[in-house]
Amino acid sequence: MYLLTNPKFLGSRISSKRSQANSLYVFHIECLKIGETELTLEVGNKKSSQLPNPVVVSSKVKVVCGQPNMLVVKADVPQPKGASQPCPLRARTGRIAALAYEDVSLTVSVLDSNGRKFDNISSLDIQWSTSDAEIATPALESGVTYEEPTEGGNSWRETLGYRPVSDARQIVRTSKRVGNVDITAEMAKSSFMSLGKIRDTVQLSLVEDAAVHPEALSVFNHPDNVERAAVKGGSGYFEVVGSNQGVASSKFVAMNQSVEVRPTTDGDTVLHVLDLCLASANRPKISVTVTGVHNVELILTEKVQRGRTASAQAKLLDRNGQEIGPGALRFVEVSPLPERPLVKLTLKEGAEGGDLVYSVKGKAQVLLLIHIRYLGTFTHYISQVLSSEKPQ
C-alpha cells in the first residue's frame, strides 16, 4: 500500500494507524497552510520475482486547506407532510416556527470564499448568544457538537478509530414559553484572517400546538350560511382538508385566524387543520354536520294570562338532536299558526338559540305550530299547546 502527495504542495501533514477493524486504515490530515493538494492511495501486492507486475488499484482525493469566510446556521424543524404549499412564515417574517415545548436542533456550517463547506470545524472558536434567555438558550456557550452514530451500542470512534464526517450542531434549550427569540453564532477573530465579522442568526418563533374551538360544528344548510371555528396557537399559517369535500367547502382565513365552513349538502365531514410550518403530532380537526331543521324544541310555561306576555325559548335541532346555531335564524322564517294575530313572536338579541315572546289574545286555548321556511320549502312542526287563563 502506498500513499502519495502532490510534491508541488506540502500544505498538510498525514498520519495513519490501523483501526480496531482489521481491514481498515484511518488517515488523519492536518492543514499547515492555505492551498489545495491531491492525495493518491495505491493498493496492491508487492513486486517480487514471482510477481514482477502486480495489480495495483488507486484512488484519489482532493484536500483543500481553506480560510473561513461565512457562517451558516439553520434550524432543523421537521416540515409537515401532505401540505399543498410551502410554509410562508419565513418568507414574510424571516422567522422559523418551532414548538415551544421541544428543544430545537441547529445545523452549523462554515464555508470558504468559494462556498465550499468545511468537513470539520471543531477547532474554530464559535460563540453563542440569545436575545431572550427566558424563552430559549443555546446548550453550548461556545463551539459545536457532533452527533456520532452508534453501531452495536458503541460509537464509530470506538469501533473504527475515527468519527465519520457529520454535521456540526448546536441545541437550543427551550423553556416552554411562547415568543420570538434570536440565536446568534459569531466566530472569534482568532479563527479567521479576513476583515469584518463572521456571524449568523436564526430567528425562531416558538409556539404551542394549534387547536380549534369549537371542535364540532352543526351547520345550517343554506347557501348563504357561514360558520366559523377559531384557530389558536400554531404558526398562524394553515390549510384545511376535508374528508368529504361534497358536504361543505372550507378555507382558512388568516386575518381572523379562523376556519370558514360553507354548507353544500346534508351530511357529515371531518376537517383536518394542517399547519403549513410545523409537523406536530397533535393535528386539530373539526367534526362538521350539515343539516336542515329536523325538529323544534319549545320551552315555555303551559299557562299565561290573557293579554300578558311570556318568554319561551325555541331551539332548532338538527337530525342528530344537536342545537343549530342562532345564525340559522337569519335564513328561516319562524311564525305561528294559525296566521291570525293570536301570538306575537319577537327574537331577543343575544338569546341562545332564540327567544320567542308570546302575547295570547282571544281564544282560551291555542294550538301553536312553528312555521319554518328555508331553501324555498315549507316545513311545519307542532311544538306545544299553550292555554290561556282570564286575569284574576
Q: What is the CATH number of the domain that holds 238?
A: 2.60.40.1080
75/181 same-domain check: yes
148/277 same-domain check: no
- The residue from 174, 207, 240 where one domain ends is 207
148/107 same-domain check: yes
Domain span including residue 42: 2-65
Q: Which of 329, 331, 388, 342 is nearest to 369 (CA)?
A: 342
Q: Answer positive or negative: Cα dihedral of 325, 329, 331, 335.
A: positive
pLDDT digits (tens, 9 = 90+) for 364-388: 444 444 445 554 444 444 444 444 4
Give the Cα separation of 144 and 170 in Å (integer).
6
Number of domains comprising the chain: 4
pLDDT digits (tens, 9 = 90+) for 105-129: 999 999 988 899 998 888 889 999 9
Question: For 63, phi and psi rounded to 5 degrees?
Answer: -115, 125
299/369 same-domain check: yes
Confidence of residue 325 (pLDDT cuts 50, 70, 90): low
**Burial class (CB within 10 angstroms; exposed 0-12, middle 13-18, buried 19+) of 298:** middle
Q: Which three cell numbers stand for residue 10?
A: 506540502
**Summary mean pLDDT of the chain:** 76
**Burial class (CB within 10 angstroms; exposed 0-12, middle 13-18, buried 19+) of 13:** exposed
Q: What is the pLDDT of residue 282?
A: 82
Give the Cα separation of 271 and 215 in Å (integer).
10
Residue length of the chain: 392
121/219 same-domain check: no
Confidence of residue 136 (pLDDT cuts 50, 70, 90): very high
320/378 same-domain check: yes
Whether the predicted model's global pTM rises above the 0.85 cut: no
215/280 same-domain check: yes
Q: What is the pLDDT of residue 104?
A: 95
13/46 same-domain check: yes
Give the Cα separation of 381 and 337 in Å (integer).
10
307/271 same-domain check: no
Mean pLDDT of all residues in 228-237: 94
384/322 same-domain check: yes
Provide the CATH number for the domain around residue 87. 2.60.40.10
- The residue from 291, 313, 342 where one domain ends is 291
Q: What is the DSSP letter of 238?
A: E
Q: Which residue has the higher pLDDT, 203 or 31?
A: 203
- The residue from 246, 273, 291 where one domain ends is 291
pLDDT digits (tens, 9 = 90+) for 328-342: 777 776 555 544 444
**Burial class (CB within 10 angstroms; exposed 0-12, middle 13-18, buried 19+) of 100:** buried
Confidence of residue 245 (pLDDT cuts 50, 70, 90): confident
287/299 same-domain check: no
Give the Cα separation of 167 and 217 in Å (integer).
47
282/324 same-domain check: no
Q: Which residue has the higher pLDDT, 186 or 389?
A: 186
Radius of gyration of the chain (CA): 37
